[in-house]
Structure 1
Amino acid sequence: MAQNLTVTGIITFSTGEPVPGASVMVKGTKNGAFSDSKGNYVLSNVPSNASILVSFIGMESQEVNVAGKGQVNVVLIEEAISLNEVITIGYGTAKKRDLTGAVSAIGGEKITARQNTQVVSALQGAMSGVTVTRSSSAPGTGGTIRVRGITSIQESDPLIIIDGVPAGSINDVNPSDIENISVLKDAASASIYGARAAAGVVLITTKRGSRDGMSIDYNYSLSMDLPTKMPEYADAPTYMKALNERNWNDTPTGGEYTVYDKDLIANYWSLNKENSDLYPNTDWVSLCLKNYALRNSHQLGLATGNDKSKTKISLGYDDVDGLFKSNLSWNRATIRVNNDIRISKWFSTSLDINMKRTESTDPMFSPSYQMRFAAPVYAGIYSDGRLAGGKDGANPYGAMMYGGTSKDTRYQAGGKLSLEITPFDGLVITGIFAPNYNFAKVKDFNKQVSYYTAWDDLSSTDFLDGTNTTDLKETRADSYSITSQLFANYSKSIANHNFNAMAGYEGYHYYYENMWASRGQYDLIQYPYLASGPGTFKDNNGDAYENAYNSYFGRLMYNWKYRYYLQANFRYDGSSRFHKDFRWAFFPSVSAGWVVSQESFMENISWISLLKVRGSWGQLGNERIGNYPYQTTLDFNSPTLYMENTIVPVQGASAYQLAVPDISWETTETADLGLEINFLNDHLRFTGDYYWKQTKDMLLKLQIPNYMGYSDPDQNAGIMSTNGWDVDLNWNNQLGDFNYSISLNLSDYKTVMGNMEGTQVLSNNLMVREGSEYKEWYGYLSDGIFQTATDVSSSAVTSSAVKAGDIKYKDISGPAGIPDGKIDATYDRVLLGGSLPRYNYGGNINLDYKGIDFMVAFQGVGKKKSMLTSDMVTPIRGDWYNVPGIIVDKYWSNYNTAEQNSAAQYPRLSRTGETNNYAASDFWLIDGSYFRIKNITLGYSFPNLGLEKVGVKKLRVYVSLQDYFTFSHFPKGWDPEVSSTGYPITKSVMFGASIKF
């Protein structure tokens, strides 16, 4: 019979630190114990041939055979995604296991894997509760980021913190420099930033040096950008038929062929073949856009260090070409140097320096709008290369190519000096001084462009629209900010009680100033300088503003045996944006967590490795409301007066903003309940949160009489409430040499307006009023398309211009509160449903086998009401725009049979009917949900056979498709993220290589 033993030992992390609270069990029995605060454990009555199981949250479980030994020490190794992973939080870090708030995190390697030049684009679909929307892929543009939806009518952008210092934009940092990103989503985690954290906080940590000696890495990628989708438009004969039909519909007595002769239409293709100058069929989109645009990216990094100092140097250069055939480009050069120096055991310092230069060049006249709608019967350029006038001077190609350029050059330089003192074990005092400087120079040179007629190649006829003169405007702007921080962190463990306390101060000051000058009607167009322009036509202006805040903050964290957690935060903020009597506000939060899986009753449930519940409550603030709202502000101007026969310039000033002295903070109160479960030895991980937040004292426009001469001032009056939830699900496993992981995230929210003091806001067919969702569609309820004149005469209509073929609307109400036989905008428009995306989702699939790696990232929206805009569906706008291809052969027409008209998807062609037919209504609402494959990457890392001899540690090549596949219900040619007519969303084919020495 095997002899029973008393087994003792120490449980440690791979770093040598003790593991407190680790579970130690005799396999197959209920005999077990937990390690103490120093990692020690004692197990009695253990068979000498038994095995013990050691487990701890976020670590790989270990099974060790006792083998008759009385002492068994165990080293626990972190899993691929460990709960001991360090997460960046406000003014410090915390292990994932210790978090009681809602925090999402993503590693820098996942950011760079998506190969985006802008950070915000790489976050789309990457984290639950974080929504990124785009409206353009123009070089240098990013997108809009929202954390858990909408927080305020005024400002819903999250606060961006880079290496502990507030930043102006998430795109201030090069994606290749990022070590990790944390998003603070609830009040428990974000309230430490109080005044500006109501819309969430995005914390970005950049890469630093390593103690492992020197390493150099370089990455190069070449991309070809193409539009994801482009709408089609009618060719010349189809356009001519449509214009004739439209005029016939509006003026039947004029006949069917009032503009273009029947024979001309019938013979147009043969005429076009004979003389394309006189009979053009211009594809304006192809004329203005290239087939693809190139994007080059170079990223170089150097890391070095030892026990005394560490340095990370990174250089980046991105050169992005645009799709326009004219000069459209964006480039960025960045440098970042992060230094860490340990001077003594109790004193260390860090010095970080970063610089960035961006330059964007754009045509003064963007063709994005007109190139989509310009009619094909007008020429843009003749066969001999002369510039045509388009439609009476409206030539988007000519204006783009020759109408001048706008060059925007920006410089940013920043730094951070940090001093860290550790007077005794557990206490760390940190002081930070971080200045940042920005300078911008913009030069707009608008050139005169003349055009010719097809039959006269000797002299120009006139100038293109907007190019009658050559003008120059130059703008200079500079700003600086200074952030200073002083805070102390103290950690202490007493037996099974673990404490952490933090308190500190932050000061921030921002100053901005700009000026501009212009001169017009240049004769010497080859010299784009202010001194070269005539002094007769000149102007200039400038302004400046500044703001500041002071803050005091603190945090207390406590846990017992890493099982029960409590946390409290506070921040006391004062902002210069408010009157001194309303300047200060207090923002508290509390949170708690319970690691249920640490309880003894969970010991035999081996398939659950972690079960944690947590909850939080707190208040956050918003002070980003503009400057000086509590003061009456003046607008200075220099008008000219006529005194007898003399023009006399004078200095004038007028008040344009009414003071509201008691204006103060918007306050957001939030509550969050969270659940974290890890299954099957942490292979499967689930995190879910349900949250509620309400913004009070939201700023709304106070309506005042027009005769007062002021614009409507803001007032603290509105209430907005949001309910939502976030879910993350992750699976990772290894089968021999095959590694794979799958991650999914899903989130949803709904925002409803509360008390708005009787005000409402209607803009772009979107309504914000008491009781409505935030930005609900607002318009008529449609009832099909009128099929006959009798149907029209017996129904309520918007005007006498309505005829058969127009959209029919429902008579909802009238002045007496009941239907009145009229369709009126005041009484018959209703809320049509929310416009914001619902059920935002995203995910990644990663596969790795013997050096071959494959990644698929996807993103989408599960539910959304989108409205087809008038730009997308209105034919022949302004008497000369083209017919959208999506309505060709699908609109109601007098040439159709009754059966064809009853199945028509669009109303008749009519100028007089546009007001009725293209008014906002549910007729134009469509399913706006979509699924997009964000990235497909296939890579290969070469084995080290022979490469180490030349100093190469790793060599990888890859090919990637970005935004290449999109599935939606939008009409053909339209991307679901762009319902306007701006620069198109692009997809990319990328080739790249990375090498590490």
Structure 2
Amino acid sequence: MKHKLLTFLVGSAIVTSVAFAQEKKITGRIISATGEAVANATVIVQGSKTATISDKNGYYSISAPSEGKLIIRSIGFEEKILTIGENLSYNITLNTLNSNVDEVVIIGYGTGSTLGTTVGSAVRVGSEDIKGKPTANALEALSGKVPGLQVFTSSGEPSATQSIRLDGVGSLGASSTPLLVLDGIPVGIGSIVSMNPEDFENITVLKDASSTSIYGSRAANGVIYFTTKKGRIGERAIITTRVQYGWNDLASRKPARSFMNSSELLNFWVETGYRTQAQADSIRQRFPHDTKWDEFYYRKNVPMKQADLNISGGSEKTQYYLSVGYLDQEGVMFRSGFDRITLRANINSKLNKWISVGLNLGGGYDRRETNGWGSNNSNGGLSLFAPPFYSPYNEDGEEYYDETIPGLGRYNPRYLADKQPSKGKNQQFNPNAFIQVQPFQGLTLRSQAGMDYFNYNITSNRLPSFIPNLGKGTTSETYQLGVSRTITNTIEYKWDIQNLHNFVALAGHEYSDYNYKDFGASGGGLTVDKLILLSSTTLDRNVSQSKYAYAYNSFFGRATYNYDTRYFFDATLRQDESSRFGKNNKKANFWSIGGKWNVTKENFFKDVTWINDLNLRASTGTQGNSAIDNYESLSTVSPSIYDNASAWAISSPGNPYLAWEKQYKTTVGLSTTLFKRINLDVEYFYRVTKNMLLSVPYPYSTGYNQITENIGGLTNRGVNIDFSVDVLKGKDYYFTPYVKLGVVNQKVTELFDNKNYWVVPNTSVSYVVGRPVEFFAPIQAGVNPENGLMQWYVPGSDISKTNKDPNNVTSEFSSTALQQSTGIKRYPPFNGGFGFSSGYKGFFVNADFTFSNGKYLINNDKYFFANPYQFAGNNQMREILDYWKKPGDVTKYPKYGQVNQFDTGILENASFLRLKGLSVGYNLPKYLLAKQKFFTGAKVYYTGRNLFTATKYTGPDPEVDSNLTYGRNPNTKQSVFGIELLF
């Protein structure tokens, strides 16, 4: 009691003395030893609760007593104490803890370490690259930002998720998506869509064995670690609010402009004899229009809105971060949209000198609609089939709504969407909590538990008033619920000997499980729009239900050592047990070893002034892949009806010998800084997949068509390059261009049944030993100029080898007899990005480009849009006008009357360059805000996404990540204006 009273009196005396001391306003700028601005540095008045943080350009302002002291802290820098004198302005230079600005990074459990002392290969994307993006998904912020990481957005739906691959495709049968971890808890890729990107402090991509092997079973494809924002030390709360408003449009309308206009189409019909001149003239007279159908089916300038508010702050013992966000983004197609509300509360508290606790609560509610007329549907993917001389507007300029468009015979897509609504509602909850105990210096005990939960409801209706099915309404309801739980316990001990030998030992246990269930019901016979409940249905009632579960149990350990921050070594070991594998193969062990040499710490390097930093690193180890269906190892049955009675049938034979797919990865890298301006990181990787989880085909006579087995092998090797230059760097200006490149060479090394090749049915893709995954299809040899018939190369005796013998061609098409390896890679070998960040006295311009080279797609849309005889009466691409008419013509397309086939004529180069992001803005200077005490910072800006696309691909969108694409909702572009205020 006496101790508490004494503490209170001393504290009161300090607060009172500060309150009555003469205060003055202190301003200045915080920079690093290299002259760069230090943003978000904490400035505290010693002995008080008064604190502030520096802005993006390093400027700060704080009221402090005369002759007082300021404490300046920032992650990666040495703490500095400044004594206040007579001056009112102090520029402060912070020294880095190491030669580089080191940020604390979590690489596989524990309390974390700085990037400079980490052996593993890790790339961090900070909040400045994440926030303010006009997209619902934070994963897109990684596009072109991490060498070797391929991020493709394959749809223009606002709720779409990205496809992600790191250092190539690691498996031909299991998933190649990296493990996603949120504040230490694994989450699904769909969960990221339901989270607010503004809540992420950074995203770290763990790439090599040293950084991923401790995640063992699910780290075969790398790990992406999301860190949410936390409060900062200092009692004063920092309030940030941001409002954005903008518009959506197709990323490119160039593909739509490649179709014929009314005059060209009618002339073509007359020329080919499909219509007589009199018939064409009659059509012109009756329908004197030239409609751009893409502007009707794919709306222009569709609005999007976003608003965010967050509050962060704290004292020396407790820090907090609170946020709320709202996003409303309509899609360019009808019945396409996404609106989301998110809440987050992160609280960390140090209860006393040896116990800390934390609670992160993240949740959201969103509503999403996706267009249901994709695929080969004339109301969606094939909407551009519509001849341009028809019009969706009557003589008064009003849309035909509940009647078919004259001549065309289609209903308005708005009417289809209104009368056939389908809405999904999702509840997302991602809580996690920890307690951390430090009984004495160096020893840390930590227990953490978290959950990834979603509850998704889909309601789909066909209203009874829908004219084509008048009085025959239908409804369906589907409920999906999934919850993943993870509990992790670790013990970590850090110690050193004479500040030269530094050790860290970590051991831990983790348990994770996932449970999923769904329930659906549907029915028909509805007659009134207002009575569309399931209970009102009278016909075709149906019920469905399913559920599944899986679990992991793991033990792991890690040991690290460094000598004088010069030589670094680490080793990890993990044992995983999975419910997905056979009884005797559930467990597997994974390991890694790695080392790094900080050459600049050597005595012989001290006189080399132009090399500021030089590190060599290497690691090797194993990871596992278990991303298959949950019951592949078990013999399963399914219910059926036989002779009007319930029956059971064997649905899967199972495979009790099914075991882990294993990957081995070796990485060698170099990172350096030259002349304090040039930054370069180069790494070589070699990735080997063995015991591949592959669906092996079986004769139908066995009763099954395929069984999952451990068979086959695959290798990926390549180089990743990260390069940037501080071309301009001064107090009020900067210009830093960058290039990030990933190159990968893939090779299949083994297949099942000692086969040399295998053609995957219905995919036009083949696996050939010694080659990468390739497209497999009949190869066009061009149009015969004498008779106007298309020709194809006749395959050789080995169809796994490409044969283009000009003396061995045929005009008789057979999809089976003519198929052969095209020699064209399925997966693009070159991916990356480049751009720059720049600024001058508060103004800033940042541009980010992404590219993919060597990317190919089967443009199935072109099978319809460049096939005038097969689909006569519909509009076609203008390029089909280059068709054969008379002997001697050298043309791209055969004579009219021959059907264009499914061959390499629709296999197109989909390499692309895209301006993925552009930001232009202005940070209001401090002197404009100095006269008021309400705002502490303000920024106005413009942000654009997918503003420019360069490609030779003739389809709707080259970014689609697939072997074949048809009827896709194409990627969109956004233009957004925003304002950000700090209080």
Bin for the TM-score computed over the shorter chain: 0.7 to 0.9
Give the Cα–Cα distance (whole angstroms) in 1 for the partners of residues 607 and 365 of structure 2.
59
Q: Is the 8 A contact 1:308 1:342 kept in 2?
A: yes
- SS in structure 2 at match of 1:191: helix
- Alpha-carbon distance change, 569 to 651 in structure 1, aligned in 2, over 3 angstroms: same
Aligned equivalents of 1:976, 1:438: Cα separation in 2: 29
For residues 272 and 297 of structure 1, the distance between their equivalents in structure 2, rounded to whole angstroms, comes to 43
1:968: Cα distance to partner?
2.0
Using the size of structure 1 for normalisation, the TM-score is 0.82
Amino acid at match of 1:754: T
Pick from 724, 728, 739 the counterpart of residue 744 of structure 1. 739
User: 1:205: how far off?
Assistant: 0.4
> How far has the Cα of 1:731 moved from its partner?
2.1
Distance in 2 between residues matched to 1:115 and 1:407, nearest whole Å = 22
What is residue 988 of structure 1 aligned with on the other side?
974
Summarize deviations over 1:821-847 as a string: whole Å, max 9, x none.
Answer: 766534662332203222212123111
CA shift in 2, pair 1:772/1:98, >3 Å: same
What CA distance in whole angstroms lies between the structure 1 residues aligned with 2:705 and 2:554?
Answer: 32
Offset at 1:598?
1.5
1:136-535 equivalence runs, <5 A: 136-153=155-172, 154-169=174-189, 170-212=192-234, 213-230=236-253, 231-232=256-257, 233-236=259-262, 238-243=264-269, 256-257=273-274, 260-273=275-288, 283-324=292-333, 326-362=334-370, 364-365=372-373, 367-376=379-388, 383=395, 385=400, 387-388=403-404, 394-395=410-411, 397=413, 400-447=416-463, 463=468, 469-495=472-498, 496-534=500-538
Cα 1:103–1:946, aligned 2, differ >3 Å: closer, same or farther?
closer
- How do 1:363-762 residues align onto structure 2 when only pairs under 5 Å count? 364-365=372-373, 367-376=379-388, 383=395, 385=400, 387-388=403-404, 394-395=410-411, 397=413, 400-447=416-463, 463=468, 469-495=472-498, 496-534=500-538, 536-637=539-640, 639=641, 641=643, 649-681=644-676, 683-732=677-726, 733-757=728-752, 758=755, 760-762=758-760
Shift of the 313–521 alpha-carbon distance from structure 1 to 2, 3 Å rule, reads same
Aligned counterpart for 2:913 among listed residues 909, 920, 931: 931
User: 1:855 offset after TM fit, Å?
Assistant: 0.9
Q: Deviations over 1:582-632 (max 9, x none)?
A: 100000000011112211221211101111111111000011111111211
CA contact (8 A) 2:830 2:852 kept: yes
* SS of residue in 1 equivalent to 2:287: helix
Give the alignment partner of residue 908 of structure 1, picking from 895, 903, 911. 895
Q: Which amino acid aligns with 1:91?
A: Y
- Residue 9 of structure 1 corresponds to none
1:938-949 alignment, distance < 5 Å? 938-945=920-927, 947-948=929-930, 949=932
Shift of residue 243 of structure 1?
A: 4.9
1:905 Cα deviation (Å)? 2.7
Paired with 2:387 and 2:97, the residues of 1 have a C-alpha distance of 62
User: In structure 2, the residue corresponding to 1:155 is in which secondary structure?
Assistant: coil
One-letter identity of the residue aligned with 1:512: Y
Distance 1:509 1:493, change over 3 A: same
CA pair 120-435 structure 1, distance change in 2 beyond 3 A: closer
What residue ranges of structure 1 are gaps of 5+ in the alignment? 1-12, 16-56, 63-73, 247-255, 274-279, 452-462, 642-648, 790-803
Cα drift, residue 241 of structure 1: 4.7
Deviation at 1:134, TM superposition (A): 1.7
Partner residue of 1:77 out of 72, 95, 99: 95
1:814, 1:493 → 2: CA distance? 67
Change over 3 Å in CA distance of 1:468–1:188 after alignment to 2: farther
Superposition deviation, residue 292 in structure 1: 1.6
Give the whole-Å Cα distance in 2 for the aligned partners of 1:990 and 1:599: 50
Q: Which runs of 5+ in 2 are unaligned?
A: 1-30, 34-74, 81-91
Does the 8 Å contact 2:213/2:621 carry over to 1? yes
Q: Distance in 2 between matches of 1:224 and 1:725?
A: 38
Q: Spell out, residue by residue over 1:687-720, the C-alpha distance to the aligned partner (whole angstroms, 9 max, x if none).
A: 1100001111112223323133334111100101
1:787 aligned partner, one-letter code: P
Identify if the C-alpha distance between structure 1 residues 84 and 450 changes in structure 2 by more than 3 Å, giving closer, same or farther: closer
- Report how many aligned residue pairs link the two structures: 866
Q: State the SS of the aligned residue for 1:651.
A: strand
Tell me the CA shift for residue 470 of structure 1. Answer: 1.9
- CA deviation vs aligned residue, 1:258-295 (integer Å, no higher than 9, x gap): xx33212135333324xxxxxx7654333323222111
Query: 1:16-35 to 2 correspondence within 5 Å?
Result: none
Alpha-carbon offset, residue 746 of structure 1 = 0.8
Contact 1:861 1:931 in 2 (8 A): yes
Give the C-alpha shift of residue 870 in structure 1. Answer: 4.9
Q: 1:450 to 1:480 in 2, by over 3 A?
A: closer
- Mapped contact 1:159–1:197 kept (Cα < 8 A): yes
Structure whose CA Rg is larger: 1
Residue range with higher mean Cα deviation, 563-572 or 832-841: 832-841
Q: Distance in 2 between matches of 1:339 and 1:783?
A: 66
| CA contact 1:58–1:81 (8 Å) conserved in 2 | no
Q: CA deviation at 1:877?
A: 7.4
Per-residue CA distance 1:923-953 (angstroms, 9 max, x = gap):
5554433222222211111122353523211
Residue aligning to 1:885? 877
* 8 Å contact from structure 2 (residues 836, 847) kept in 1: yes
d(CA) in 2 for partners of 1:724, 1:94:
28
Please report the TM-score for the alignment, with normalisation by the length of structure 2.
0.83
Offset at residue 377 of structure 1 (A): 5.9
Maintained 8 Å contact 2:610/2:674: yes
**From 802, 813, 831, the counterpart of 1:840:** 831
Equivalent residue in structure 2 for 1:775, among 765, 773, 776: 773
| TM superposition shift of 1:503 | 0.7
Describe how 1:50-89 pairs up with structure 2 within 5 A. 77-78=95-96, 82-89=100-107
- Show the counterpart of 1:22: none
Amino acid at match of 2:915: I
Quote the offset at 1:215 in angstroms. Answer: 0.9
Native 8 Å contact 2:216 2:623 kept in 1 = yes
In structure 2, relative to structure 1, the CA distance for the partners of 1:881 and 1:87 (3 Å cut) is farther
Return the alpha-carbon distance in structure 1 between the equivalents of residues 700 and 170 of structure 2: 30
Instruction: Label 1:79 to 1:106 Cα distance change in 2 as closer, same or farther (>3 A).
Output: farther
Q: Whole-Å Cα distance in 2 between the matches of residues 618 and 766 of structure 1?
A: 34
User: What root-mean-square deviation, in Å, do the aligned CA atoms of Structure 1 and Structure 2 show?
Assistant: 3.0
Report the Cα distance in structure 2 between the residues aligned to 1:724 and 1:130, rounded to whole angstroms. 12
Q: Are the counterparts in 2 of residues 190 and 200 from structure 1 also a CA contact under 8 Å?
A: yes
CA distance, structure 2, for counterparts of residue 546 and residue 661 of structure 1: 18
Give the Cα–Cα distance (whole angstroms) in 2 for the partners of residues 281 and 739 of structure 1. Answer: 50
The reply on whether 1:124 has 2:133 as its aligned counterpart is no
> Could you give the per-residue CA deviations for residues 186-214 of structure 1, whole angstroms, max 9, x where no partner exists?
11110010000001100010000111221
Report the secondary structure of 2:215's partner residue.
helix
SS at the partner of 2:697? Answer: coil
Counting aligned pairs with the same residue, the percent is 24
